[in-house]
Amino acid sequence: MTRTVKQLFDLTGQTALVTGGSRGLGLQMAHALGEAGARLMLSSRKASDLEEAVAELKAAGIEADYIAADCGQEEDIRRLARETVQKLGRVDILLNNAGASWGAAAEVHPVSAWDKVMNLNVRGYFILAQELANLSMIPNRHGRILNVASIAGLAGNPPEMQTIAYNTSKGAVVNFTKALAGEWGQYGITVNAICPGFFPSKMTYGLLEKLGAENMASHAPLLRLGDDEDLKGLTLLYASAAGKHITGQWLAVDGGVSAIIGG
């Protein structure tokens, strides 16, 4: 029987792991999954931040827990996957969101900083997806993997935005998403990417201070930056049965910026 729209977007009984879920975009997307009925496991490096985020979610009537882990370290990632499956029973939805950036001109960009960004933004995504697929998604023949990329992965930067490693990592995430979708569709796993534009956050604070929030907003066709609601709809589409025939795709949530810079 054909389901209603409400039924398609309902995540009741589903479980989700959200990395980088203690604040900002990760917490916004966690709210979306929880508000639709999913049980949540949040992760980031700092337990104190996670405690605050879980308290906020619980106050909203969402079932949530946390595991502190560093998604730039392989053993920590694999531990996170194992403990999440142990606590939740399975993982239906993985939201790969943990990330880092580094601001420096390409000609003087530290190689150590390049490695830090790549380890967290690309290598970490792969290891966690691999581990959870083997522990839960492949045996259950079901999974939803959401990779947070960025419009920075769709094109280059003007000279004043010096984030070569970040751009490169997010471009890699877009193609990682496509390649993984091609391999794992046979297991009932969809893999899609979200490409946010500029949202006020801890990561973008320095850039927004440097270039000005109003100036950044003026370059978007919608003349605004992202807010605390703007990623919820796409997150739920990718994670739910409403998106069961969508895989290997990316979509920019950027007020139209990528429509004029290309992508």
Given the residues 125, 166, 187, 238, the one annotated as active site: 166
Active site residue 238: no
Both structure tokens of 138: 């492949």
Closest CA to 154 of 194, 114, 191: 194
Q: How far apart are CA 175 and CA 24, in angstroms?
A: 24
Q: Please, what sign has the CA dihedral across residues 135, 136, 141, 144? A: negative
Q: What is the full DSSP assignment across the chain?
A: -PPPHHHHT--TT-EEEEETTTSHHHHHHHHHHHHTT-EEEEEES-HHHHHHHHHHHHHTT--EEEEE--TTSHHHHHHHHHHHHHHHSS-SEEEE-------B-GGG--HHHHHHHHIIIIIHHHHHHHHHIIIIIHHHT-EEEEEE--GGGTS---TT--BHHHHHHHHHHHHHHHHHHHHHGGGTEEEEEEEE----STTTHHHHHHH-HHHHHHTSTT-----SSTTHHHHHHHHSGGGTT--S-EEEESTTHHHHH--
* Residues labelled catalytic: 166
